[in-house]
Amino acid sequence: MVTIIPSLFVYQQPDTGMVVLYLAGSTTVLFLSGLHKKILAAAAAVPTVAIAIFIYVYFLHPHVFYDQLIPILKPHQQERILGWLSPNEYADHAYQTKKAMLAVGSGELKGNGIGNGTVYIPEKHTDFIFATIAEEGGFMVASLVISLFFLLLYRMAVIGDKAESPFGQYVCFGLLMMYGLQIFQNIGMTVGLMPVKGISLPLLSYGGSSLLSNMIFLGIILSIRKPYQKYMFQAK
């Protein structure tokens, strides 16, 4: 309930992407907290059934999906879902995604070089920064960036596993889930695997508030890793 209340306010902005991140982090904490598994299963059944119904209707009754379910969403949500599911039919809604995919593909193996990107992507320095990285640095640099993100998530998991208190574990793994989902969503929408959402790529997308919040999260995780005191602050 503590998470749902502020999430509703964020949803009204509207910012569905951040709400998903909040719920993912809080769900992870609940799962690790030792809450009875039957309660978790009952809570997970609701979104699971809803997703299953959407998939069933989409594949077997597409006219119901497009004519009755999609109109329930807000206009900007409809555009992003339609542009993701039917990019050729709704080319205007999928414009940014198709441009991002073109940029990623044009980078090939070694990229076009820093500053030599030629594909126009609106606001590419924010949510679609990964498309620029892949275009100018190619598959090699893009793979390196993804590998560094995996390393960051791995270190979060190690710190959480070695935390001295359950609270430290909850914080580390909750933030790990939020970070992982955020990275997957951002890169996924760049290559057409996920619908476009206003979610930045941690530590890379332009934005002072985004960078500040990410540094605060990482600082909280580092504060849980107490063994670093031994080689930085311990007196000889």
Question: Residue 227: what pLDDT?
Answer: 58
Instruction: Evaluate whether residue 112 is within a structural domain.
Output: yes
Question: Residue 233: what pLDDT?
Answer: 53
Instruction: Evaluate whether residue 10 is within a structural domain.
Output: no
Mean residue pLDDT of the chain comes to: 86
Instruction: Evaluate whether residue 204 is within a structural domain.
Output: yes
pLDDT (mean) for 180-202: 89
153: pLDDT strictly greater than 90 = yes
- Asked if 82 and 91 count as a contact pair (C-beta separation under 8 A), the reply is no
- Return the minimum-mean-pLDDT range out of 79-83, 141-145, 147-151: 79-83
- Torsion, Cα 169 171 173 178, to 10 degrees, reads 180
- For residue range 24-67, what is the model confidence (pLDDT) as tens digits? 888 888 888 887 878 878 878 888 898 899 889 888 888 888 88
Instruction: Evaluate whether residue 135 is within a structural domain.
Output: yes
146 vs 183: CA distance, rounded Å: 9
Residues of the domain holding 199 = 93-232
Instruction: Evaluate whether residue 61 is within a structural domain.
Output: no
- Residue 42 CB neighbours (<10 A): 10
68: pLDDT strictly greater than 60 = yes
Q: Which residue has the tokens 């299953």?
A: 52
Instruction: Evaluate whether residue 199 is within a structural domain.
Output: yes
Band of residue 228 on the pLDDT scale cut at 50, 70, 90? low
58 vs 189: CA distance, rounded Å: 20
Nearest by Cα to 191 from 70, 111, 106? 106
Instruction: Evaluate whether residue 145 is within a structural domain.
Output: yes
140, two tokens: 């090699």
Question: Residue 154: what pLDDT?
Answer: 94
188: pLDDT strictly greater than 60 = yes
Our count of domains for the chain comes to 1
- Percent pLDDT > 70 in the chain is 95
12: pLDDT strictly greater than 70 = yes
Instruction: Evaluate whether residue 190 is within a structural domain.
Output: yes
